[in-house]
Amino acid sequence: MSPRIITPEHAKRLLDNGAVLVDIRAADEHAREWIPGAHHLPLSEFNRNDISLDAGRPVIFYCRSGARTTNSAPLLASKVSGTCEAFIIEGGLDAWKKAGLPVSKDPKQPLELQRQVQIGAGSMVFLGTLLGILISPWLLAIPAFVGAGLIVAGITGFCGMARLLIWAPWNRGVYGKQVSKGVTAESHDGESLLR
């Protein structure tokens, strides 16, 4: 059975009565902002792990906007089938915040990797174009190189800039564990969901 979609307010009532909350967003998204008490198990790790759940205890899944959880409903349901009831927060974290419900933030964490790539690529295109106009037309090779890299990333799914940014000093806290050991599914208080 597919997880039922519920409002943030309904999710909050279930949480107050002992439901388990699971954030399926990527590590960089979760590190910066999350719903208090949420366990983190990225969607990319679902096929590699089983979730340890108490039978009968409802499980609520969320992402940023609700799109990933809704699109992944069959996978989410398969992880809890037969053990408990599963729910998805309609509108995800965005709707949770709009409802005025509590959110924990850590502004010291880096921006999501996708945003870092967008900022880096945009800056290189802008500066390369500006330098190409003002200094030498040869510097227009910079935006051409970035454009080619974005095309390759779109076609193959491999983004060289993202691979480099993972190793940047400001990202080591978020990606250090992920790159070396694999992602762990645990809440901010250290309680693990993995078997």
pLDDT tens digit sequence for 19-70: 999 999 988 889 889 999 999 989 888 777 666 666 678 999 999 999 999 9
The per-residue pLDDT for 50 is 64
Q: What is the residue whose two structure tokens read 């060289």?
A: 160
Place of tokens 């800039």: 161
Distance CA 76, CA 190 (A): 22
Would you list the DSSP string of 47-82? GG--B---TT--EEEE-SSSHHHHHTHHHHHHHHTT
Q: Which two tokens stand for residue 148?
A: 């080619």
Q: Which residue has the tokens 């290189």?
A: 124
Q: Domains of the chain by range and CATH?
A: 4-109 (3.40.250.10), 113-175 (no CATH)
Residue 195 in this model has a pLDDT that exceeds 60: no
β-strand partners of 87:
4, 60
Higher pLDDT: 108 or 173? It is 108
- Give the integer Cα–Cα distance in Å for 118 and 3: 34
Mention every residue, 6+ apart, whose C-beta is less than 8 A from residue 14: 6, 58, 60, 87
> 51, 63, 121, 183: which is the annotated catalytic residue?
63
Q: Please tell me the predicted confidence (pLDDT) of residue 183.
A: 41
Phi/psi of residue 46, each to 5°? -60, -40
Tell me the C-alpha to C-alpha distance, in Å, between residue 82 and each of 41, 43, 56, 172.
20, 20, 9, 39
pTM equals: 0.72
| Token duo for residue 8 | 């943030």
What three-state secondary structure class fits 42?
coil
How sure is the predictor about 186, in pLDDT bands with cuts at 50, 70 and 90?
Answer: very low
Residues 6+ apart with CB under 8 A from 155: none
Place of tokens 């790539």: 117
Say yes or no to pLDDT of 103 above 60.
yes
**Strand order, beta sheet including 39-40:** 4-6, 86-89, 59-62, 20-23, 39-40, 186-187
Active site residue 84: no
